Structure 1
Amino acid sequence: MEWFSIFYNVAIEAFFKVGVFVSISLLLIGLVDYKFNGIIIKLLEKDKKNQVYFSALLGLIPGCGGAILIVPMYILGKLSFGSLVASFITTMGDAAFVLIVGNIEAYLKVLVISGVTGVISGLIVDYLKIGEKISVNKEKKLKSENNLYNEESGHKKHNHIAHKKGDLIDKVLHRKKTLKYIYILTHKVWYKIFWILVLASFPFALEHLLHGHTHEEGVTLEFYKISGFLGTLFCLLYTIISRKGVEGSDFDKTESKLNSILETLIHTAEEVAFLVSWVFIAFLGYELLLNYIGGEEVLKLFLNNKGFLVVIMAILIGLIPGCGPQILLAAIYISGGIPFSALVANAICNDGDALFPLLALSKKSALLVTIYNIIPAVLVGGIIYLLEN
């Protein structure tokens, strides 16, 4: 019964502490991106002199979209390797949203630190002409007719961002949807239920936030508990279904959001479900760990004894492609499980989902950009660690 109680309470906390507010903030950012579609991209293409700065700025946008859009421009020779490094250092992926709603002060600090680090690193890389000899295989043989989206697959044609129809990016990063009925479920039904649930829960989440996380016994408390629990379960189920039953690259999802408000609603719901699922796993694992070892004081003593090793472990987690592990680490930071130095080091070296399209197009570039992210992560993480101690 104790285990179920932990599971139940963590599910409620994950949805109301993260899910509801992240949904609103992610949607607002998505709508801003849609409204100003392509403006920064055009600046990047025209202003060669300041590409590193604009690339770093794109990376700083919460989520993975900004850094993902850098990838095709780099592959097609429109951006320098230093610009790629800058955007990958500054991006935190979806972990940014966890910090925004969980600890906005920490998020702003990370934003400044990673922004400065990204710009300096990008400028140094370009000054030393690192990466100029990397050859990207643009003659990769691909059967584009099997990979491109079409009307019959349920995806309407849209304007391409940072590339043209039929080029290398189009062939590699635009994949046909599979499992048609699941695609219909996620694109016709799921997102509507999700946004209804978020809008219905928002007043209770706001009340929960403003009144010291206390509720009077009654209908409000019961709705708060039940909707939070069901919200997290819904997110877990949808994440499993969408990740297994619907194909599609991260680049395509980002591009489709920039072309359609409807796609923004659909994919924002998908992203939040994925994020809530990982936050739930992080919160649950953290609570179970505390229950097993005997409380937070024991954990803090353990971390103090491990010293700089915690920062190194955060960097190693940052090397794992994708947003999931990084979301987990950010959630653990909010819970008090790791120091700020570890969070910053992870933020600098993690590339979120932006690494996936780069891996698909140029494995050598992906390897090198990862290496050049590790160096500033160790240096900056180490300096902050020394200041903490």
Structure 2
Amino acid sequence: MSALIASLPFRSGGLPRPGRLPPVSGPVRRALALAALVGAALSVPGGAAILHESLADAYLAVSVYVAGTLLLLLLLERRLGLDLSALLHRHQRWQVPIAALLGAFPGCGGAIVALTQYTRGHLSMGGVVATLTATMGDAMFLLLAQAPATAGLIVAVSVVVGILTGLAVDRLHGPDFMRPRAAPDAAMAGPACPGGCPSANADHAEGRLAAGLRRLWLLVLGPGLVLGAMLSFQVDPDAWIAPVLGVAPGAALGVAGAVLSLALWVLVGRGGEVGAESPRGRLDLRPVVATTCFVTGWVVFAFVGFEVVVQALALDLAHWFAVAAPLVPAIGVAIGLIPGCGPQILVTSLYLADIAPLSAQLGNALSNDGDALFPAIAVAPKAAFVATLYSAVPALGAAYATYALVG
């Protein structure tokens, strides 16, 4: 009997107190948020069409590129076997350019890697500023998929501005300004886990439902990458397949991929560290899938939320942005100061819809830090705050310079 009592779920805290609700788990919170989004969409005219189109666009325009990029990074890292800590230690004069290039890589992975090196004492504050200035976070995937020329321009400007700003910060404060102390001989030591460390979730057995959904998700990814690439080159597969088969494969596969991604996001959340190995030494793809599904969730909320607000309030955003034109670049920069990728994806969506101007998009790209800021906030909040402020200065300058030239 004592063993049975000890196994009860509330054994450590006794029975729940009257009037006090038990804590809500992460999957339940995510499921409730998703249900609220669907309910809000269905409450406006054309809500079902909004959901269908937003899901297909989110998967084919963003998710497949996130997954493809993460897989490519993973393969390159495994084949090259790079030790970034040792590289930064050997080439200290090149820390800022290396950090800017890491930040410029699509998504938040490269920037998170750079900021992890800072928290270990291997990167200067100038390198942190260069990383945060150069990164555009997960919003870059959306821009690459729908406006690759603009994405290339913003990457080039971001890298140059990031390097110049980072060098200026190191010149002003010195390379050891606010730098955390590294562990003894940490810079020269090899990886803590030869061949890669296990992911955060690798030691926990997962439910059969999540494992089955992941396998199905990976099966859908192959054709999804093909269809996503076709759409990027302005080739609509539905236009010539639908008349023959009577079904639109692009839209159907896009909705299916998005639904699978959202289901996995609800069950798994963000997942572990990309690049980790499973306990049996094999490459673990679970964090890749989880990260892609996490980004998909943000994109779906941004796409659907934007359309719902516009429909519900009958907003003429183009008119609003035209009236407040002089403030729009500053608004884009201010939104970029918000940690996370969701608000930045929304700004990029407004730009791609020809509502926000290029000046707002560029200012947001330079000031936003995506998810990369969270590791720095957790370990060195003061340094994260200072670096964010420094990255906002060139963002304002570049945004208003662009506004003066092209609007």
TM-score (norm. length: structure 1): 0.79
Deviation at 1:125, TM superposition (A): 0.4
Change (3 A) 1:381 1:205: closer
Gaps of 5+ in 2: 1-44
Deviation at 1:176, TM superposition (A): 5.4
Q: Distance in 1 between matches of 2:142 and 2:156?
A: 17
Cα offsets for 1:163-209 (capped at 9, x unmatched): 8649xxxxxx99954994547765x4443221101223444445554
AA partner of residue 311 (structure 2) = N
Question: How high is the sequence identity, in percent, across the aligned residues?
Answer: 28
Counterpart in 1 of 2:133? 89
Counterpart in 1 of 2:267? 241
Counterpart in 2 of 1:197? 220
Match of 1:214 among 239, 260, 274: 239
Counterpart in 2 of 1:149? none
Deviation at 1:89, TM superposition (A): 1.1
Q: Distance in 2 between matches of 1:135 and 1:31?
A: 31
Cα offsets for 1:79-115 (capped at 9, x unmatched): 2211111112111222221111121111101101110
AA partner of residue 38 (structure 1) = L
Cα offsets for 1:8-53 (capped at 9, x unmatched): 2222222223223443343223322332332555432201122111
Change (3 A) 1:283 1:388: same
Match of 1:280 among 300, 323, 335: 300
Q: Distance in 1 between matches of 2:347 and 2:189?
A: 32
Q: Distance in 2 between matches of 1:20 and 1:343?
A: 23
Q: Distance in 2 between matches of 1:72 and 1:37?
A: 18
Counterpart in 1 of 2:102? 58
AA partner of residue 24 (structure 1) = G
Does residue 1:48 correspond to 2:48, yes or no? no
Deviation at 1:130, TM superposition (A): 5.7
Structure index of larger Rg? 2
Does residue 1:27 correspond to 2:47, yes or no? no
What is the correspondence of 1:232-381 to structure 2 with a 5 Å cutoff? Answer: 232-243=258-269, 248=272, 253-254=273-274, 256=276, 262-263=283-284, 265-292=285-312, 298-381=316-399
Say how many residue pairs are matched. Answer: 354
Gaps of 5+ in 1: 140-159, 167-172
Does the 8 A contact of 2:199 with 2:278 survive in 1?
A: no
Change (3 A) 1:191 1:353: same
* Greater percentage in helix: 1
- State which drifts further: 217-226 or 50-59: 217-226
Q: Distance in 2 between matches of 1:135 and 1:119?
A: 18
- State which drifts further: 271-280 or 204-213: 204-213
AA partner of residue 74 (structure 2) = G
Does the 8 A contact of 2:115 with 2:376 survive in 1?
A: yes
Q: Distance in 2 between matches of 1:212 and 1:386?
A: 40
Change (3 A) 1:49 1:225: closer
Counterpart in 2 of 1:145? none
Counterpart in 2 of 1:73? 117
Q: Distance in 2 between matches of 1:290 and 1:108?
A: 30
Deviation at 1:233, TM superposition (A): 1.8
Does the 8 A contact of 2:135 with 2:365 survive in 1?
A: yes
Q: Distance in 1 between matches of 2:397 and 2:104?
A: 20
Does the 8 A contact of 2:276 with 2:283 survive in 1?
A: no
Does the 8 A contact of 2:165 with 2:394 survive in 1?
A: yes
Deviation at 1:212, TM superposition (A): 7.9
Deviation at 1:327, TM superposition (A): 2.5
AA partner of residue 214 (structure 1) = A
Does the 8 A contact of 2:139 with 2:344 survive in 1?
A: yes
Deviation at 1:362, TM superposition (A): 1.0
Deviation at 1:290, TM superposition (A): 4.0
Counterpart in 2 of 1:101? 145
Q: Distance in 2 between matches of 1:54 and 1:224?
A: 39
- Deviating above 6 A after TM superposition, structure 1's stretches of 4 or more consecutive aligned residues are 160-163, 257-261
TM-score (norm. length: structure 2): 0.76
Does the 8 A contact of 2:126 with 2:168 survive in 1?
A: yes
Counterpart in 2 of 1:5? 49
**Partner SS state of residue 340, structure 2:** coil
Does the 8 A contact of 2:89 with 2:188 survive in 1?
A: no
Does the 8 A contact of 1:257 with 1:267 survive in 2?
A: no
AA partner of residue 52 (structure 2) = Y
Deviation at 1:6, TM superposition (A): 1.8
Q: Distance in 2 between matches of 1:279 and 1:97?
A: 10
Does residue 1:117 correspond to 2:142, yes or no? no
Does the 8 A contact of 1:13 with 1:228 survive in 2?
A: yes
